[in-house]
Amino acid sequence: MAVTRAASRSPPPAAAGPASAAGEPPIDLVHLARQTDGDLALQQELLALFDKQSAILLAQSSDRSAARRRRADAAHQLKGSALAVGAGAVARAAAALEAALAGRATGAEAVESAIAALAAAVAAARAALAQLRD
C-alpha cells in the first residue's frame, strides 16, 4: 500500500479514490494520518487489514442463513474498522445495517437495502485501496 508522506500531513484534505457525491473520499488519508500519528508503516498495516476485514465482515453481515444478532455484530465490527481508517461511508452504511438487523420490526426489504448500500460503500473503499497499491 503506497501511503505517502504527503498523505500523513494535515493541511490539504488528502483522499484515496474518487470522492462520493457528497464530496467525501472513500478513505480519508488525513484522518488516517491523525489516527496513526503519521506512522506510514502503521497506516499501511491498517489499510491492508481493513481491505481484508471489510470483505470478510461484509460477507458475514450479508449471510442470510446466520442469526440477525451475529450479522449485526459483524456490521458493528465493520463500522469500527471503517472509523479507524477514515472510511466514513462504510461506517455509516455498516451502522445502518446494524440498526436494521437489530430492529425486530425491520422488514427484509430494509435489511436488503442496507446490505446493498454497505456493499457499494465497501466496494468503493476497496477500489480506493487498490488505487493506492498501484
Structural domains in the chain? Answer: 5-133 (1.20.120)
**Quick one: pLDDT at residue 128?**
96
How many beta carbons lie within 10 A of that of residue 78, not counting itself? 30
Which pTM was predicted?
0.83
**Quick one: pLDDT at residue 104?**
67
**Quick one: pLDDT at residue 5?**
44
Closest CA to 128 of 37, 41, 17: 17
**Quick one: pLDDT at residue 66?**
96
Closest CA to 133 of 42, 17, 5, 6: 17
- Per-residue buried b or exposed e for 80-89, using 16+ beta carbons within 10 Å of the residue's own CB: ebbbbbbbbb
- The parts of the chain modelled with pLDDT lower than 70 are 1-22, 104-106
Q: What is the largest CA-CA distance in the chain?
A: 48
